[in-house]
Amino acid sequence: MYDVLIIGCGITGAATAFELSKYRLKVGVLERENDVALGTTKANSAILHAGYDPEPGTLMARLNVRGVELAQELCAKLDVPYRGCGSLVLAFSEEERPTLEELYRRGMENGVPGLALLTGDEARALEPNLSETVAAALYAPSAAICSPWEYCLALAETAVNNGVELRLNTAVTGLEQTSEGWTVRTSRGEFQARFVVNAAGVDAALVHDMAAPHAFDIKPSRGQYYLLDKSEGDRVGRVIFQCPSKVGKGVLVAPTVHGNLIVGPDAAPSEAHDTATTGDGLRFVRETAQRSVPSVNFRESIRNFAGVRANTAAGDFILEQSAPRFMDLAGICSPGLSAAPAIGEYAAELLEQAGLALEKKDGFVCERRRIRFKELTAEERAALVEKEPAFGRVICRCETVTEGEILEALHSPIPPCSVDGVKRRVNAGMGRCQGGFCGPRVVDILARELKLSPGDIVQDQAGSWLLDRQTKGGNRDV
């Protein structure tokens, strides 16, 4: 019997598991995919928003500001790439100036520190590559960028290190209320829990309907992006927004913590798991972004991708007890990444109010470190290679990722089982060639260490095989 079962291990589920791992509880996480962070968490803008956009008084407003405060300390403790770079919201005409003033008013009421309204010239003094048509800007110095999938992974790993049980490849198929709590039916058997937390992202309404009368709909919205090479990484030093609209915060231009430039997204209704990109959508992103920063060189694009946001009609996060001992953490669209650790705190409060006893445990460990070979000094590299020769074999040339780093990931609390799982942990395949050189070598390492046939190694989700599987050990034909 679990005290709490969390359904879903994106950033919301991971942050909730992290928070609950501080207490004397038996906690489990059920994730339908073969890894954490495989939904919206791995395909977003990687922005920790300052908190001026949400309507004052909403959960979004409160938890956004609190989450960003927590993120800086958490990323430092858990060794997650983080950069406090600030952001600018641009107005291109006097007609848009009232929007900036409204965002400023909201931000001040929400407690966002350091906000300032700038003229166009003042904005260009900060960011020389901004368009000459920029008339005014809102500056938010507390905005930041991070590695979203590693943020999620770090929270989940820390939870596991503190006793949380993570079950991957475990899809929830039904919920039944019992005298003690819930029976949770899954693709891998039944589990008993006193409390259930629904953090299922774009599928949150489906999970809710298993436990309570229908109350909300998820209206998925797909956003498409360009990821540009490091040669464009210094085009801007801050996150550059345009004035927001009803469909979202608009197309942004921003640096990434890995040294690239990210541009996007658009916003279009979609199916829950439709992450295809389109020519029209990418054309819109490109043309809209060039209003802000005309000099962006899109010929340096190394990847296009799309993510799906879990929008609802509520206009706020849905964080509530929807049935006895059943909590919804739903509608976690932007600023969900920013708010995540604060959502975890709030979820713990909801559970305590519903009767879960929260007793702090001794020995909670909130620390995580990993070796990034390319960031070491020459002396540190030499000493490491002498101690562990695998760190002397470079597998990914673009990102200078070594075999030693991949082996460490494969022996971590949540080891990868796919090529992209390795990519998310150590950056192999993240560079200009996008795995063209290192991909086959990563497959070989995975097959060797996992004792599988290369034909059984997947690119990412289950079933995304890379090789013809007709050989013995592959088990079946493609």
pLDDT (tens digit, 9 = 90+) per residue, 442-464?
999 999 999 999 999 999 999 99
Among the listed residues 469, 366, 460, 474, the one whose alpha carbon sits nearest the alpha carbon of residue 416: 460
Q: Which domain holds residue 337?
A: 1-82+146-218+312-369
CATH number for the domain that contains residue 428: 1.10.10
69 and 10 within one domain: yes
Catalytic residue among 49, 258, 273, 411: 49
262-314 per-position pLDDT tens digit: 999 999 999 999 999 999 999 999 999 999 999 999 999 999 999 999 999 99
Q: What is the DSSP letter of 188?
A: T
CA distances from 192 to 28, 174, 175, 250, 281 (A): 10, 12, 10, 43, 45
pLDDT in tens, 331-340: 999 999 999 9
d(CA 127, CA 124): 5
Range 372-383 average pLDDT: 98
CA distance 450 to 419: 12
Residue-wise pLDDT for 247-261, tens only, equals: 567 899 999 999 999
Residue 77 has what pLDDT? 98
Phi/psi class of residue 135: alpha, beta or left (left: φ > 0; alpha: ψ in -120 to 50)?
A: alpha
DSSP, res 132 = T
Spell out a b/e string for 357-380, using b for 16 or more CB atoms within 10 Å of the CB, else e.
Answer: eeeeeeeeeeebebbbbeeeeeee
Q: Are residues 276 and 225 in the same domain?
A: yes
Q: Note whether residue 462 is domain-resident.
A: no
Looking at 325, 343, 369, which one is the last position of a domain?
369
Assess whether pLDDT exceeds 70 at residue 473.
no
What would the mean pLDDT of 396-411 be, rounded to a whole number?
98
Instruction: Tell me: do 124 and 230 sit in the same domain.
Output: yes
Cα gap 371→376, rounded to integer Å: 8
Residue 470's Cβ-count burial label (10 Å; 0-12, 13-18, 19+) is exposed
On whether residue 465 sits in a domain, the answer given is no
Same domain, residue pair 235 and 306: yes
Alpha helix (H) residue ranges in 9-129: 11-20, 59-77, 97-110, 120-126
Q: Which tokens sit at 7?
A: 């359904």
How many distinct structural domains can be found in the chain? 3
- Say how many residues make up the chain: 478
Reported as a single tens digit per residue, the pLDDT across 121-174 is 999 999 999 999 999 999 999 999 999 999 999 999 999 999 999 999 999 999
Evaluate whether residue 477 is within a structural domain: no
Same-domain status, 159 and 73:
yes
pLDDT on residue 475? 45
CATH of the domain at 228: 3.30.9.10
Same-domain pairing of 331 and 362: yes
**Is 49 an annotated catalytic residue?**
yes
What span, in angstroms and rounded, lies between the C-alpha atoms of 22 and 5? 15
Residues contacting 20, CB < 8 A, separation 6+? 4, 6, 27, 159, 164, 344, 347, 348, 351
Q: Both ends of the chain: CA-CA distance in Å? A: 40
Is residue 432 a part of any domain in this protein? yes
* pLDDT for position 377: 98
